[in-house]
A = this chain, B = another copy of it.
Amino acid sequence: MELNGVEIEDTYAEAFPIKIARVLITGATKRWALVAAQEAKGFGTSVIGCPAEVGIERVVPGSETPDGRPGVFLQICTFGFKSLEAQLLWRLGQCVLTAPTAAVWNGLPTAEKQFNIGFKEKWFGDGFESERNIAGRKVFAIPEMQGEFLIEENIGAVDGIAGGNFFVFGENQMAALTAAESAVDAISILEGTITPFPGGIVASGSKVGSLKYPKFMKLSTNEKYCPTLREKVPDTKIPPGVNGVFEIVINGLNEDYIKTSLKAGIEAAVRIPGVKKITAGNFGGSLGPFKFNLHDLF
């Protein structure tokens, strides 16, 4: 199958379950909402070594937020609800409560699972905090040097999906990278998904386990997809003429959101000159129960 002249391999992305909390951060302007969200997002690429996978879902105008100010949806993902609660407490308490003009709202108010993060953050107010109702939501107002910090009582979470993905093969690194950037542009305005890696892009797609250091490396470079090893690895997956590969990893609230983002990302990537092929990563079904066949997206 080809899209804009680029081969889409007949394969699937394999993904796995994760817990996802969703927060809406508003600010005086779009820029200040993003400052808070970006601080809360960082050190959040992969649960292999980060305390959580975190990403900015999308920016919304004041007409879609409880306080009428521009907002940013943030998704925070961990394997269990206990670690998720800890990440919410620390990331919101340290990175948003401290951020100029920011406020925090429940991004999943109808989810069954709710964490009373606002209730716990309000203790920072040292007794001077108060309760308020804004747009039908129960909110705590915490006095701060800047004025006041507002945080909704609860933050909702759901069983979501991590690891949706596709790979962009490029004639060289810059062609593949620009295609990956264009894919992230397309995904960044869609509801329900995040691309948690730096700039939304993975430079270092990996395999589970290690050939040489199996005792202490849970995951290692995926040598079959490394262009510089094409001549050295017998079962290389890198065809001649490909010298750069980037992966887009997508987490999301459900399968449909991930499908929509995979499709939009791939459609954007194939528009870039020098892109040679699109494929996806899977582990033969050993990693997770979710399968996204690339050909079924179109």
Binding site for B on A (CB under 8 A): 4, 28-32, 35-36, 38-46, 48-51, 54, 61-63, 67-70, 89-91, 93-102, 123-128, 142-149, 167, 170-178, 180-182, 185-186, 189, 197-199, 201-206, 210-213, 216-217, 220-223, 225-229, 232, 243-247, 264, 267-268, 271-274
Contact = CB atoms under 8 A, between A and B. Distances in A.
A133 B67 CA distance: 46
A37 B189 CA distance: 20
Contacts of A90: 43, 49-50
Contacts of A245: 145-146
A128 B212 CA distance: 9
A225 to B, nearest CB: 5
Contacts of A63: 186, 264, 267
A126 B94 contact: no
Contacts of A247: 145
Given A43-B40, A98-B45, A203 B144 contact: yes
Contact of A95 (B32, B43, B89, B142): B43
B43 A44 contact: yes
B274 A42 contact: no
A94 B49 contact: yes
A207 to B, nearest CB: 8
Contacts of A206: 124
A198 B102 CA distance: 10
A99 B199 contact: yes
What are the 3 closest A-B residue pairs judged by CB atoms, nearest first? A42-B42, A127-B212, A99-B198
A95 B182 contact: no
A244 to B, nearest CB: 6
A203 to B, nearest CB: 4
Given A44-B42, A127-B212, A198 B95 contact: yes
Nearest to A203: B146
A167 to B, nearest CB: 7
Contact of A42 (B29, B38, B48, B89): B38
B211 A267 contact: no
B198 A35 contact: yes
Given A95-B42, A186-B70, A272-B174, A128 B198 contact: no
